[in-house]
């Protein structure tokens, strides 16, 4: 079987999960595997909402910021960034958004699976045609911005900390509005 046929098989299988995303588990597909993401925390959602709101205020007509499944069948990958800036026309679909219509992907790092954002998606997003990728880490107040994709990897990256204003292409993200994850409570 080819990588694309395995992807298509997994994509069809993932459609049978109940209830479907966004109400149930968020489904991603990479490296011939289905990755199920649990519901994020309140701090995670708050940071994603604040970033989406900031970007929305800056976007020209025809672009939209939100959370979508994005896919690139030839790369055999489907991901769900916490925030993505996409062509509005591409967002009007009952299917996953074509990843080549994504201008920026933003991931809020999960405490339980940080390698997904720092390793797997740094590998996947350039292969999917996503030109810019911002990682926001509320565990320690750090951010990492990637850009200048050659279609295989990102050639440029720069670290930031909460409090910085990050230029992501033609837009900015003011990280002073973001919150850290609260300390874990011991039961």
High-pLDDT (> 70) share of the chain, %: 79
Query: For residues 66 and 82, what is the distance between their CA atoms, to the nearest angstrom?
Result: 8
Q: What is the pLDDT of residue 110?
A: 87
Q: What is the pLDDT of residue 170?
A: 95
What is the average per-residue pLDDT within 107-118?
90
Instruction: Check pLDDT > 90 for residue 1.
Output: no
CATH annotation of 40-177: 3.90.1570.10
The long-range contacts involving 80-84, CB below 8 angstroms and separated by at least 24 positions, are 80/21, 80/26, 80/27, 80/28, 80/37, 81/105, 81/106, 81/107, 82/40, 82/44, 82/48, 82/51, 82/106, 82/107, 82/108, 83/48, 83/51, 83/52, 83/55
Prediction pTM value: 0.82
Q: What is the pLDDT of residue 185?
A: 61
Residues pairing with 124 in the sheet: none
Q: DSSP assignment, residue 168? A: E
pLDDT digits (tens, 9 = 90+) for 26-49: 666 666 666 665 556 789 889 999
Q: What is the pLDDT of residue 23?
A: 43
Instruction: Check pLDDT > 80 for residue 107.
Output: yes
pLDDT digits (tens, 9 = 90+) for 134-182: 999 999 999 999 999 999 999 999 999 999 999 999 999 999 999 999 9
What is the average per-residue pLDDT within 72-78?
85
| 63-66: strand order across its sheet | 63-66, 83-87, 102-108, 133-137, 142-149, 154-161
Query: For residues 39 and 45, what is the distance between their CA atoms, to the nearest angstrom?
Result: 9
22 — pLDDT class (breaks 50, 70, 90): very low
Instruction: Check pLDDT > 90 for residue 106.
Output: yes
């Amino acid at each position: 079987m080819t990588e694309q046929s395995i992807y298509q098989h997994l994509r069809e299988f993932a459609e049978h999960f109940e209830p479907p995303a966004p109400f149930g588990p968020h489904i991603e597909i990479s490296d011939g595997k289905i990755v199920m993401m649990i519901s994020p925390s309140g701090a995670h959602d708050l940071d994603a909402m604040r970033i989406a709101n900031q970007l929305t205020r800056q976007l020209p007509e025809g672009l939209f910021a939100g959370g979508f499944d994005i896919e690139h069948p030839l790369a055999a990958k489907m991901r769900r960034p916490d925030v993505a800036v996409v062509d509005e026309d591409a967002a009007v679909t009952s299917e996953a958004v074509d990843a080549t219509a994504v201008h920026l992907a933003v991931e809020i790092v999960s405490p339980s699976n940080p390698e997904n954002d720092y390793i797997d998606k740094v590998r996947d997003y350039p292969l999917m045609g996503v030109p810019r990728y911002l990682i926001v880490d509320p565990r320690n107040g750090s951010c990492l911005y990637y850009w200048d994709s050659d279609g295989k990897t990102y050639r440029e990256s720069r670290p930031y900390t909460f409090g910085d204003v990050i230029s992501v292409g033609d837009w900015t993200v003011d990280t002073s509005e973001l919150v850290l994850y609260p300390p874990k409570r011991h039961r």
